[in-house]
């Protein structure tokens, strides 16, 4: 069984980059590991403690120690490549193990510190692994084209239709005030339509999932679409629930597309959003290295 190579006696020469933790039975044949880690010449290896195994790479401190890493993270090209490498490793591991994924750039001083962390947080990690057993994370983003929603409401809402008719027949002296009222009412109706769509989506998809959680919606300059993101969710799905979940998403799309809403499903992902803060405690010592 291979393991993370211990750090050299001069611990400043190398550190251990950890991708995540899984649980293995003593009689289980270990799956092959990804050959490519966070950087070249840093293969993924195992560090086993009891029934837990951490997956990591020994990397040079000259590139991953606290001060050096802060400088490297300012290099957008380097950062993008490292994030992609981190995600590729976790995707390979996720296909073979139930895994508790660690944040990008979780770094320990040496293998001994990783082993101590596994021992110290054994209970929390086993609880986390029980929580995500035989499941994967899927993301659901809900977008709204506000102009389409407004056009739909102009034809469907009796209040909006009435105000529109009054506006069309108003004298120039009252048209300004009616237009302000019309716009305010339409804004309220749009917000209510969004709330109804989000509520229906949450209710329908939660019924198919083991767990669901809300994520802050991304602004346009992050998600890159013209529409507004009005909901962002992560769902933990049992292995056999994917077909039902996809049908539920398709039904929502069919129901709300003409109203100005669209649904974007992504996954499977490692279960990042289903590891509680208490179960993330194992990463505390690692974070202190990065923060200096």
Q: pLDDT, tens digit, for every residue of 53-100?
A: 999 999 998 888 777 777 878 888 988 999 999 999 999 999 889 999
| Position 43 pLDDT exceeds 80 | yes
Q: Which one, of 229, 278, 26, 271, lies nearest residue 138 by Cα?
A: 271
- Which domains occur in the chain, in start order? 11-132+275-291 (no CATH), 137-273 (3.30.70)
Evaluate if pTM is beyond 0.85: no
206-220: average pLDDT: 95
The answer on pLDDT for 276 being more than 80 is no
Q: What is the pLDDT of residue 275?
A: 83
Contact between 273 and 234 (Cβ < 8 Å)? yes
Task: Share the mean pLDDT of the chain.
Answer: 84
Nearest to 20 by CA among 80, 71, 96, 109: 96
Q: What are the backbone dihedrals phi and psi of residue 104, each rounded to the nearest 5 degrees, phi first?
A: -55, 135
* Alpha-carbon gap, residue 120 to 21, rounded angstroms: 14
- What pLDDT, on the 0 to 100 scale, is given for residue 10? 46
Query: Cα separation of 61 and 13, whole Å?
Result: 5
Q: Does residue 140 contact residue 235 with C-beta atoms inside 8 Å?
A: yes
> Contact at 8 Å (CB) between 117 and 285?
yes
Secondary element (H or E) of residue 104: none
CA atoms within a 13 Å half-sphere pointing along the CA-CB vector of 113: 22
- The two tokens of residue 122 are 């054994």
CA distances from 24 to 30, 31, 48 (A): 8, 10, 9
pLDDT for position 199: 97
Distance CA 217, CA 56 (A): 32
User: Angle CA(158)–CA(162)–CA(164) in degrees, nearest 5?
Assistant: 115
């Amino acid at each position: 069984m291979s393991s993370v190579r211990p750090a050299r006696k001069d611990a400043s020469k190398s550190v251990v980059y950890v991708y995540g933790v899984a649980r293995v039975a003593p009689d289980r044949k270990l799956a092959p590991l990804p050959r490519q880690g966070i950087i070249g010449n840093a293969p993924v290896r195992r560090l086993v403690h009891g029934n837990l195994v951490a997956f990591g790479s020994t990397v040079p401190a000259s590139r991953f120690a606290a001060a050096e890493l802060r400088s490297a993270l300012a290099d957008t090209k380097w950062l993008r490549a490292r994030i992609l490498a981190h995600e590729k490793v976790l995707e390979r591991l996720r296909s073979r193990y139930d895994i508790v994924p660690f944040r990008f750039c979780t770094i320990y001083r040496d293998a001994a510190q990783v082993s101590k962390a596994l021992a110290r947080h054994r209970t929390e990690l086993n609880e986390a692994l029980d929580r995500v057993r035989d499941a994967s994370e899927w993301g659901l983003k809900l977008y709204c084209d506000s102009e389409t929603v407004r056009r739909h409401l102009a034809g469907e809402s009796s209040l909006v239709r009435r105000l529109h008719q009054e506006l069309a027949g108003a004298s120039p002296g009252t048209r300004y005030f009616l237009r302000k009222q019309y716009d305010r009412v339409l804004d309220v109706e749009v917000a209510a339509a969004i709330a109804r769509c989000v509520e229906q989506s949450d209710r329908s998809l939660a019924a198919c999932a083991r767990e669901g959680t809300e994520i802050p919606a991304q602004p346009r300059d992050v998600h890159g679409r013209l529409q507004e993101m009005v909901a962002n969710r992560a769902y933990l799905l049992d292995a056999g629930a994917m077909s039902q979940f996809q049908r539920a998403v398709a039904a929502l799309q069919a129901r709300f597309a003409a109203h100005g809403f669209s649904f974007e499903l992504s996954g499977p992902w490692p279960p990042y959003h289903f590891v509680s803060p208490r179960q993330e405690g194992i990463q505390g010592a690692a974070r202190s290295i990065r923060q200096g």
